[in-house]
């Protein structure tokens, strides 16, 4: 999967939506932000991730940058940060050691992470325009990968930082159009256990089902058409990304 191409594509779509909405527009899916705040966040994330790609694991977490407060300046700053990120991800071998917050510490981590970070915030920018999103936005394979990254990378990271699992039970996550299923075992106050499975027929306490696109949005707490059956508290009990 070409994650770098996804970063470029999703960033372009997000930028267009941000310009359409305007800097003062509210972001319904992130109530604490206006579009200006969303753009500044994305600019900072891309600039920071570009630095992480070339930071050795033993050098520690790169310093967080601060984007300009002016909307036009923030957009220009974001363009520069995005360009630097894409260039480094294409030039640096994915198996080169680099600082990451999860996994074996390789530069390739950042292409996947930033592809999904950018895609979700692209949704936020689209929602800020005031138009309802279509039921299908993301390719099933890409969306399913985003679900997997959320369950196996982001949630464990949140638990590590103290945002503990808030429920106990077994949640079955089934992305039908992608042909992928995960069993998620939750125990309140303990790490999440995620297993990819082929047979969806077992005794779960709740099921999250739908297209990969719908589930991708659901786990990120964005508007979606996924179906939750059984114990609703299990999905709510997952740490927020």
The strand pairing partners of 227, in sequence order, are: 209
pLDDT for 199 equals: 61
Residues of the chain with CATH 1.20.120: 3-128
- CATH (residue range 140-236): 3.30.1050.10
> Whole-prediction pTM value?
0.94
Using DSSP's 3-state secondary structure scheme, residue 67 falls into coil
pLDDT for 202 equals: 63
Low-confidence ranges of the chain (pLDDT < 50): none
Per-residue tokens: 35: 């579009």
Residues of the chain with CATH 3.30.1050.10: 140-236
Within 13 A of 2's CA, how many CA atoms are on the CB side? Answer: 7
pLDDT for 192 equals: 82
pLDDT for 94 equals: 97
Residue 58 CB neighbours (<10 A): 8
∠ CA(113), CA(30), CA(192), 5° rounding?
50
Burial class (CB in 10 A: 0-12, 13-18, 19+), 72: exposed
3-state DSSP percent of the chain in helix, strand and coil, to 5: 50, 15, 40
Options 3.10.28, 1.20.120, 1.10.1740, 1.50.10; CATH for 3-128 is 1.20.120
Looking up tokens 């079955």, which residue turns up? 172
Q: Are strands 193-197 and 180-186 parallel, antiparallel or unpaired?
A: antiparallel
């Amino acid at each position: 999967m070409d994650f770098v191409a996804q970063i470029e594509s999703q960033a372009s779509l997000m930028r267009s939506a941000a310009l359409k909405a305007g800097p003062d527009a509210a972001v319904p899916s992130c109530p604490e932000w206006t579009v200006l705040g969303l753009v500044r966040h994305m600019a900072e994330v891309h600039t920071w991730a570009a630095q992480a790609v070339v930071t050795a694991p033993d050098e520690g977490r790169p310093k967080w940058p601060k984007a300009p407060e002016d909307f036009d300046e923030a957009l220009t700053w974001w363009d520069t940060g995005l360009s630097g990120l894409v260039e480094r991800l294409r030039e640096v071998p994915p198996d080169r050691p680099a600082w990451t917050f999860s996994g074996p510490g390789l530069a390739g981590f950042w292409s996947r992470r930033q592809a999904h970070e950018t895609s979700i915030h692209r949704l936020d920018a689209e929602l800020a325009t005031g138009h309802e999103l279509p039921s299908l936005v993301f390719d099933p394979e890409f969306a399913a990968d985003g679900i997997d990254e959320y369950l196996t990378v982001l949630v464990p990271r949140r638990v590590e930082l103290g945002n503990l699992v808030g429920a106990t039970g077994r949640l079955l996550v089934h992305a039908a159009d992608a042909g992928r299923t995960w069993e998620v075992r939750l125990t309140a106050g303990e790490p999440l256990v995620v297993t990819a499975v082929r047979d969806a027929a077992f005794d779960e306490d709740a099921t999250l089902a739908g297209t990969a696109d719908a589930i991708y949005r659901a786990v990120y707490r964005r508007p979606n058409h996924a179906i939750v059956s059984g114990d609703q508290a299990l999905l709510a009990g997952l740490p927020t990304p």
